[in-house]
Chain A
Amino acid sequence: MSTLLQQILNGLSLGSIYALIALGYTMVYGILKLINFAHGEVFMIGAYAGYFAALGLGVQGYGAAGFPIHLAIVVLVIAMAAAATLGVAIEFLAYRPVRKAPRLTPLITAIGVSLFLQNAAMLAFTPNPRPYPPILREVRFELGGVIVTNVKLTIFVVAIALMVGLHWFIQRTWTGKAMRAVSTNMDAARLMGVDTDRIIRATFAVGSALAAAGGILFGLDQITINPLMGMLTGLKAFVAAVLGGIGNIRGAVLGGLLIGVAEQMTAGYLSPDYRDAITFVILIIILILRPEGLLGVVRPEKV
């Protein structure tokens, strides 16, 4: 029983990270109907930004005392800012010029950007995995037969905090409301005076920042990072977004958690070899049985 609970807990932790990344996919798709293939790479760059920020702030020097919390937050902010900038730059340079083109063109562009970032990162950071800096010194404790580490707890806390923050942002701020308007009907929003370009940039910025947070958490959890980490994890997060209902923010969170748990259970009870495959199987099943996702709405096409 405790093993099952352990797996579920680990799965939820992993799933929270997927959820953070999935939010970026779902928000961009909701607004532009574009699958931002490069989002996984933004996640990866965010992780590396955190890596370098932590090293730059002297994380190695703190030893047993542990990295101070306020500096850890600084690392997070730096990484999120860097990723947000990258996301906006990608939108501006690669996606904006082809916004009006037939759907295939932005898809290929997105694949190109993703490919570029992966390999540029391999050239810049070398393909070797790097151990993540000890921003958190690991502390384990046992609760009723289940092992919980402060890393997993931090992941929960940070992820939940960010998602609550996002919810507040979308519901309460003007920009957030404008985002909802634009994703419902871009032309109508424009007619109501919304600067859609600015809102689109904001969407990319927010989504990318969340992905960067996910990247740092992922690094803490998985111990190492490498330039190709964005590819697989990004794909899983995308499946999570589709599972929950692409374009639906609650769906992204739900999807992320489900995929995390499914992956953990598959690794634990079936075989670690299939942990990646289960996500693809879920993707195929959901697209065949219910393409609009669990929380999505079917929209009939106008002929």
Chain B
Amino acid sequence: MSLLSLQKVDKIFGGLRALKEVSFDVPAKAIFGLIGPNGAGKTTLFNVITGVYTPDGGAIHFEGQAIGGQSPAQVANRGIARTFQNIRLFRSMTVEENVMVAGHHLHQANVLSAMFRTRAHAADEARLQKHARELLEVMGLGKHAQDVAGSLPYGSQRRLEIARALMLKPKLLLLDEPAAGMNSQEAAELERQIRFLRDELGLTIVLVEHNMAVVMSVCETVHVVDHGETIAHGTPEQVKQDPAVLAAYLGKSTEDVA
């Protein structure tokens, strides 16, 4: 059974049909790529899956349960974590604090114990900090734990977003253009990290990405959308040669124009 399943998902904004009957299945522990030209609806898909938008048609199932229309917090609690296309960090908080915020499931003590500084609270904080530190190490940000998040270089900010998402102990990780703004060295490191997350931490990963080198190298399956519709689906090799995909990215051939 697939971990995430979309069946004919629609999303309409006023007059614009942003998603038209998009369907795909993501098996557990897959590294799944979602590509398409700008404005194709990829981020909208992420937003619909994570509850930022409610689908106007179709169904979304996670681990067999319908999740369409749930709130972002509910979806996150089910085990789906995400990063954002335009990095959304808590900029004036420290790197460590950014990750700790996502640790709700580790946080047992309540408001009163926080106010009265009970032992339960101290244990809570220690647990949160330990976990956050570990995740920061995994993403190579250990040294920056006390730095202000907004002061990090771009690439580090993207990695911080991933570390924060991992703090949710998700089963499914949605990465929205994680390689944006990275040079080839950083991108290669990202590929290594993505494989690590799947191989060592057992995560399923769905990746929206424009960097084709990364997509081709790391994804097992690729799903292509354009103007909100599916136009191709298959292995990276298959998709690379698909004429519909080429047309979408490169425009129509010169013969048609003439």
Q: Count of chain B residues with Cβ under 8 Å from any Cβ of A?
A: 6
Q: B214 at interface (Cβ–Cβ under 8 A)?
A: no
> How far is the CB of A102 from the nearest CB of chain B, in Å?
11
Cross-chain contact B47 with A303 (CB below 8 angstroms): yes
Complex: A303 Cα to B176 Cα, angstroms: 12
Interface status of A193 (Cβ within 8 A of chain B):
no
> Which of chain A's residues has its CB closest to B72's CB?
A303
**B47 engages A300 (CB within 8 Å):** no
User: Is B145 in the interface zone, CB < 8 Å from A?
Assistant: no
Least CB distance from B95 to A in Å reads 22
Contacts of B47 in A (CB 8 A): 303
Question: With A and B bound together, what is the CA distance between A300 and B11 in angstroms?
Answer: 12
**Interchain nearest-CB distance for B73 vs A (Å):** 15
- Does B116 sit within 8 A of A, measured CB to CB? no
- Number of residues of chain A lying within 8 A (CB) of chain B: 2
Smallest CB gap from B84: residue in A: A303
Annotate B41-57 by CB proximity to A: 1 below 8 A, 0 otherwise: 00100010000110000
Question: Which A271-303 residues sit within 8 Å CB-CB of chain B?
Answer: 300, 303
- Residue on A with the closest CB to B46? A303
Q: Which residues of A contact B13 (CB under 8 A)?
A: 300
A292, chain B: closest CB distance, angstroms: 13
Q: Which chain B residues (43-86) contact chain A, with CB distance < 8 Å? A: 43, 47, 52-53, 84
Distance of A303 Cα from B87 Cα, bound (Å): 11
Q: State in angstroms the CA–CA spacing of A300 and B84 once bound together.
A: 18
B10 to chain A, nearest CB (A): 15
Give Cα distance in the complex from A303 to B52, angstroms.
8
Expressed in whole angstroms, the minimum distance between the Cβ of A16 and any Cβ of chain B is 33
Please name the residue on chain B nearest to A298 by beta carbon: B14
Chain B residues closer than 8 Å to A300, beta-carbon distance: 13, 53
Q: How many angstroms between the C-alpha atoms of A300 and B47 in the bound complex?
A: 12
Considering the complex, give the chain A residue whose CB is closest to the CB of B50.
A303
The distance from the CB of A297 to the nearest CB of chain B, in whole angstroms, is 9
Nearest B residue to A301 by beta-carbon distance? Answer: B52
B243 to chain A, nearest CB (A): 32
Q: Cα distance A303–B84 when bound, in Å? A: 8
Measured between C-beta atoms, what is the minimum distance from A229 to chain B in Å? 41
What are 7 A-B pairs at a CB distance below 8 A? A300-B13, A300-B53, A303-B43, A303-B47, A303-B52, A303-B53, A303-B84
- Listed from nearest, the 4 A-B pairs whose CB atoms lie closest are A303-B52, A303-B47, A300-B13, A303-B43
